[in-house]
Structures are given as structure tokens and as C-alpha cells.
Chains A and B, each alone.
Chain A
């Protein structure tokens, strides 16, 4: 992780940012601006999931449940405690982080499939509770939420989501470039080895869960106030399956690639609408093929091809 790498990655990132910033100005229709804004929600989810799974090696199927937790707490706290939208969002993030902290702490000694099963259970309990408590959450009818930007245009939301996504990615990247990022990867590669070299494994495993959940909660809260109607289906395992497939196709060992997978696939899914449900079949098949043959994802492949062409690996 030397300065050279940082320098080399900086240019493509800036080009990408400029491209996303320019999209609405180049006359992208409102409908596509809306679609891409939802894509940013998925980008945040896939990036935060990759932070946990790709870097710390802790599998979780509770990412969309955490987004749902953030969304429902932001809206419900706003309505019942009279919080402003902004404080509601903050409360949602804090709550998601605390629940993430609790799950991370409780599951410290679980690994692999056991951890996967436990997080599935947490996610489903949360979804069932939100569905069942219809007095509070209106169950599967959906909970209406206030608009984030009063009388905001599609473009306003687009730029807000873009800004939040970029800022979040920068925070995650800074974290991963710091010593903490090395601790994470050390834990992923060899937990006992890392512990013997003085990495506080317990602390970082727990915190990683909390950080990842916090970003998911932020994504969920913003999403709720953007689409203005949330249902428990946003927390379902099918939704989690999409997030997993997006991250895998983009490349879940790199938060930027995973985020691009999220926004890119959301865009593609809308573009291929006339294929009907078959596009999701293709999507699943591509995710399987990627995992098997190209675990670094589409963008990982592209980046690899690009850097080997320039001969400076």
C-alpha cells in the first residue's frame, strides 16, 4: 500500500467521479437519474458488506436487515419522538451500529457457515418482528416516510446520494488504508496468527461488524426518505441475495469495485427490463461463474488487464 498505488488509483477514481457527476448534466432522463440514485443505495450496501466480508473475512447475511433497521428507526424515531429528518438518520445509524456491535460481539467465536446461519437468524427475526408489529410499522402495507429534500427534484437526490456514497467510500478507504485495515486483513488471513502478533482480534472483529452495519443503516435511512415508503421486504433474504450477487460480480475484495457492482447492476437490471425475470436468472448465473472463475469480479478483471497491459504490475 505505498504512495505509488495511491497515485495510480487516484486518476481512474477521479475520472469515474467526474463521469457520475456529469451524467445528469448530459441529459440523462429523469427516470434513469432515479434508477441510478437507487443504485447508489445498493453501492453503499455492497461496499459496506465487502468491508466486512472481503476484508475481515466475517460472512454476514444481515446487511439488508441492518439497512432496514436504519430505515425503520430513522422514520419511526422521527415520527414518534419528533426528531428532525437529520437527527432521525443519525439515530438510525447509531442504532444500526449498536445492533451490529452486539451481533459482532455475540458471534465472536463463530466462523464460516455457523456465522452465516446466525446472521440469517438475526436478519429474519428482525424482518419478522417488523412485519408482525404492524401497529407500529404498518407491516407489509409499508411505512410512509417524509421527503428528505422538500420539493426536491430527482437531480437533487442524485447529487445528495452521490455525495454521501463518495464520502462513505472515502471514509472506508481511509480506514482500510490505515493500520486498522491491516488488522482486518490479518484477521481474515489467520486469526490466531494475528492475535499472537498483538492484534486485538476481539476488538476489531466486533468493531468491523459495527462499522459495516452503521454504513448499511445510513444507506437504509437515506433510502427510506428518498422512496418515501418502506416495506419489510427490503430486509428479506432475497434482497440480501441481490446485494451478495452485486458485490461478487463487481468484486468484493475491493470496496470501490463492489460499489460499482451495486450501481452498475441496478442500472443494467432496469435497462434489461424487457427480459423480465430472466435477467435475474442470468444475474445469478454470472455471480456463480464469477465466484468460481474470477473471484476478483468484473472490475477486478478489468483493473488486472489494464495494469498488465501497461506492464507495471
Chain B
């Protein structure tokens, strides 16, 4: 394997990692604040791609506006989902809240996937690209839309991290993640910030879907594989941990880029590509359920 090929693999891994990280970050914020895994996260990601498609290709809006509309539409949808389906968990209105939260988000994913299937049809749609042309770094050639998607992804991740670190909103979100009851005593409006956090979480997934849509086409099942990557990343980094989501994404992107080389038979190597991360997920959960950065809980 030549040096150039190694660079190319590493760079591809890095670009993909950014978008994985964006999706995983949303999942992690939701878990941190609400203590639930959103099993419909992949379908939110997919809907982000479709909103982008509608805005950019059907309405003809500029790509930046299309990404922004995907973010806003699904942020509102996320807030609505939290208000109607998730809030009862924290108000003690459902029996066995853990199970309820898992099953209702899983049922939501069935609903949303088939909804997109009915409205847009199962065939792939190709939205207008974010950025045309390509970028050359020495002998390395990267297509422009991939780079633009990754660049926008990095920007969004940085913004989210800074908001969480330095604003009042971020402080409230982190406070609730650490101790819901204590945050409430100190005057944080927990139900308002829960709704907002769920909205931010779904907005980040939607952004990832909107950015990747023009690169790989949008289809109703486009969220199924990426969301599994996001599960792997958040488990690897520690559920609810923000740095964990980012480091986890970087690790997974590289593992997948290079692990393909391990099996000599290329068609089988490609077929198993999605399995490596899952093996990592199982191992982490069995050996160290709190992940690399997570807090240890007695009941994982």
C-alpha cells in the first residue's frame, strides 16, 4: 500500500468521521439530558436529507438555506416529539419508563421510515450538490462536495461544543445531564430545556443528513446504517459524553477505513465493513459499558 493510498484512506475516514460525529453528538446530548436513546435518530437524519432535497431541488433554494431549513424543520419536529411522547417518561405517567422510551422511539422509527417511503417512494433522489468541483492537494484529489460537507460538519460541531461550554443554555444542559433533580432546585426549567435539548439533538442529526444527502443520494433507508454507527460511537465514547462522541467518531472512521484491508477477498471485506464497529460496540458494552469517557453507573 503506497503512502498516497494511506493518506487517501485516512482522509476519507476523517471526512466520514465528521458526519458520524455530528449524528452521534445529537444522540449524546439527548441521552445526557433525557437519559434515553433515541432509536428514531436515523430516521430524523433521513428526514434531514429529504428536507434538504425538497428545499434545494424542488424549491430551488441555495444549498446553505436548504441545510438551515432541514435543521429548523427537524428541530421543531424534535421538540414536538419530546413534548408529546418523551415528556410523560419524566412526569411519571408511564409504567416502566425505560422500556417505554425504547419501544416508543423504535415504533417512531417504523412510522417515519414508512412515511418517507410513502411520500417520496423507495427510489433514491439526488439533491443539488453543496459545492461543485474538486480540490487538489498535491497528488491527492478530493471531491468538493465531500469537503464542503465535512467542513460544514466541523463548523457545526465546534459551534455546538462552544455553545455547550460558554452559554447559559449550555450550562443548563450540562447541569441537567449531571443531576436532573439538583438542576431543578437551582432554578433550571428542566422540562423546557429537555424539549430544547431533544430539538438540538434531532437538529444535529438532520444537519448530518442534509450534508450527506447530496454526496450519497437520499433514500428512506439512508438513516439505518449511519444511526448504527452513531450508536457505536456514543457507546465507545460513553453515552452522554460530548468529547466521547467526537473521539469515538474519529476512532470509528479510521477503524472502518483501514479494517477493510484486513480481509484479502475484497467483496467479502466490503460486506463485513459495517460489522467491525458492531463488534467494537458489543465488546465495549460487555467490558466497559460506561465507554471511554462516560460516568460509571451501577446499573448500566
Q: Which residues of A contact B (CB under 8 A)?
A: 53, 57, 59, 61, 106-107, 109-114, 116-118, 120-122, 124-125, 128-129, 131-133, 188, 237-238, 241-242, 244-245, 248, 276-278, 280-281, 283-285, 287-288, 291-292, 295
Contact = CB atoms under 8 A, between A and B. Distances in A.
A284 B285 contact: no
B164 to A, nearest CB: 22
Contact of A128 (B85, B88, B271): B271
Contacts of A241: 106-107, 109-110, 113
A59 B98 CA distance: 10
A184 to B, nearest CB: 14
The 7 closest A-B pairs by CB, nearest first: A284-B111, A132-B271, A280-B114, A112-B98, A241-B110, A113-B37, A277-B118
B36 interface: yes
B220 to A, nearest CB: 9
Contacts of B274: 124, 128
B203 interface: no
B286 interface: yes
Given A106-B286, A118-B282, A244-B103, A295 B111 contact: no
A284 B286 CA distance: 32
Contact of A120 (B36, B111, B118, B228): B228
B39 interface: yes
A277 B106 CA distance: 18
B99 A57 contact: yes
Contacts of B108: 284, 288
Nearest to A129: B275
SS of B interface (majority): helix
A121 B278 contact: yes
B110 A284 contact: yes
Given A118-B282, A128-B274, A291 B109 contact: no
A248 B107 CA distance: 9
Contacts of B278: 121, 124-125, 128
A189 to B, nearest CB: 9
Nearest to A109: B300
A107 B289 CA distance: 11
A248 B300 contact: no
12 contacts: A113-B37, A113-B98, A117-B37, A117-B231, A117-B281, A117-B285, A129-B272, A132-B268, A280-B114, A288-B85, A292-B88, A292-B104
B40 to A, nearest CB: 10
Contacts of A131: 271
A111 B299 contact: yes
Given A112-B102, A129-B272, 10 more contacts: A117-B37, A117-B281, A121-B282, A125-B282, A128-B275, A132-B268, A245-B107, A280-B118, A283-B110, A292-B94
Contacts of B94: 292, 295
Contact of A59 (B102, B115, B117, B299): B102
A148 B24 CA distance: 46
Contacts of A281: 111, 114-115, 118
